[in-house]
């Protein structure tokens, strides 16, 4: 089949336009995931100021109309402010009258507190799909870029300025204690009478340690699926109410650690400790979310309000 010369020339004239249009469509398609990602911010996401920096956090006010108090939730290691039981409780407890807050934890142990501050950006990789943590990652990246720029400027002026401070000295890492203090202080300044700490896994141990490190009064502690405590961390000296929640499908090592603490508290004749088991629940409480929330609220209600509401 022979192609007419005029048709061939016309095709060549329109070919660049078709290519440009295809390129524009490709760029639009590539941009869509970014736009969707920016719109899918964690419910209640609200950066928390810690000094002159900010950290990823989320806050939801109570929706019952009857304020019960405020709860600071601490996620497990390698998780984020909306993970597993922490995500369930922070979204459901406001309906029971509890204001909930959750903060991003980077370091869980004393040893890691001494590591270089650059780990905050790397730690956010595990929850990269969550845009709240991505915001904090972007913040850390921007700080690193500023430090790199400062390094270059210091290198260029090294011959003429011997007293210049190294760029690393300008960055101060936010410690875990500072994160917790800032979050608890915010709740205290809001006027909440009952402030509760709830932690899952490593967050449970961190909640227990915080009792001895913060000046903000804490009314109760709830630990969810928390394994063996680090040496030097104990609950026997704690006077406030403590609840441990254990999923029946947790690892045996976690079950043994929880049962050992229960025995220890009974041996010490401590009456402020209780253990509750959620049958069929694993780490994420996917099929037990409502039971978990009812258990937490019911226990807190018994501790603080049952006598007040009694006829």
For Cα atoms 274, 278, 279, give the angle at the middle one, nearest 5 degrees: 135
Burial 72-87 (b: 16+ CB within 10 A, else e): bbbbbbebbbbbbbbb
Cα–Cα dist 26/112, whole Å: 44
**Which has the minimum average pLDDT: 130-139, 180-189, 250-259?**
130-139
- pLDDT, residue 5, reads 59
pLDDT-derived band at 172, boundaries 50, 70, 90:
confident
Question: In this prediction, what percent of the chain has a pLDDT beyond 70?
Answer: 66
CATH number of the domain located at residue range(s) 48-119+174-309 in this protein = 3.40.50.1820
pLDDT at 15: 56
Structure tokens at 89: 């409780």
Distance of alpha carbon 271 from alpha carbon 242, whole angstroms: 9
Instruction: Tokens 């994160």: give the residue.
Output: 179
Residue burial 109-142, b: 16+ Cβ < 10 Å; e: rest: eeeeeeeebeebbebbeebeebbbbbbbbebbee
Would the pLDDT of 9 be above 70?
A: no
CB count within 10 Å of CB 250 equals: 21
Region of poorest pLDDT, from 2-16, 60-74, 156-170, 275-289: 156-170
Predicted confidence at residue 187, as pLDDT, reads 98
pLDDT of residue 114: 41
**What is the CA 294 to chain-centroid distance, rounded?**
22
For 197-206, what is the mean pLDDT?
A: 98
Q: What is the pLDDT, as a whole number, of residue 30?
A: 37
**Domain spans of the chain?**
1-39, 48-119+174-309
pLDDT of amino acid 305: 94
Banded pLDDT at 127 (limits 50, 70, 90): very low
Q: CA 127, CA 133: separation in Å to the nearest integer?
A: 7
Over residues 90-125, the pLDDT tens digits come to: 999 999 999 999 999 998 774 444 444 444 443 333
pLDDT band at 3 (very low <50, low <70, confident <90, very high): low
Instruction: State how far Cα 34 lies from the chain centre.
Output: 22
Q: How many CB atoms lie within 10 A of CB 248?
A: 12
pLDDT at site 47: 95
**Number of C-beta neighbours around residue 219 at 10 A:** 18
* 41 confidence band (pLDDT: 50, 70, 90): confident
Task: Encode pLDDT of 234-259 as tens digits.
Answer: 999 999 999 999 999 999 999 999 99
pLDDT at 28 over 50: no
């Amino acid at each position: 089949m022979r192609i007419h010369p005029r048709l061939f020339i016309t095709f060549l004239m329109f070919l660049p336009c078709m290519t440009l249009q295809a390129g524009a469509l490709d760029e639009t398609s590539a941009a869509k995931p970014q736009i969707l990602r920016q719109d899918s911010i964690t419910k209640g996401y609200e950066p928390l100021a810690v000094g002159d920096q900010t950290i990823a956090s989320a806050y939801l006010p109570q929706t019952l109309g009857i304020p019960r108090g405020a709860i600071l939730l601490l996620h497990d290691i390698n998780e984020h402010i909306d993970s597993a039981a922490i995500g369930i409780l922070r979204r459901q407890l406001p309906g029971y009258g509890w204001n909930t807050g959750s903060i991003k934890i980077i370091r869980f142990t004393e040893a890691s507190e001494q590591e270089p501050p650059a780990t905050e950006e790397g730690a956010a990789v595990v929850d990269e799909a969550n845009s709240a943590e991505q915001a904090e990652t972007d913040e850390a990246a921007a700080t690193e870029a500023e430090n790199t720029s400062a390094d270059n400027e210091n290198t260029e002026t090294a011959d003429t300025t011997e007293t210049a401070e190294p760029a690393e000295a300008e960055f101060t890492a936010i410690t875990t204690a500072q994160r917790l203090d800032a979050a608890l202080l915010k709740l205290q300044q809001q006027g909440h009478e009952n402030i509760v700490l709830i932690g899952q896994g490593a967050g449970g141990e961190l909640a227990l340690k915080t009792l001895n490190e913060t000046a903000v009064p804490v009314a109760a502690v709830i630990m969810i699926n928390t394994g063996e405590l680090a040496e030097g961390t104990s609950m026997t000296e704690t006077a406030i109410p403590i609840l441990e929640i254990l999923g029946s499908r947790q690892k045996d090592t976690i079950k043994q650690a929880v049962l050992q603490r229960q025995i220890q508290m009974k041996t010490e004749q401590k009456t402020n400790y209780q253990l509750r088991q959620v049958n069929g629940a694993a780490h994420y409480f996917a099929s037990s979310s409502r039971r978990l929330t009812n258990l937490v609220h019911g226990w807190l209600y018994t501790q603080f309000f049952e006598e007040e509401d009694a006829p």
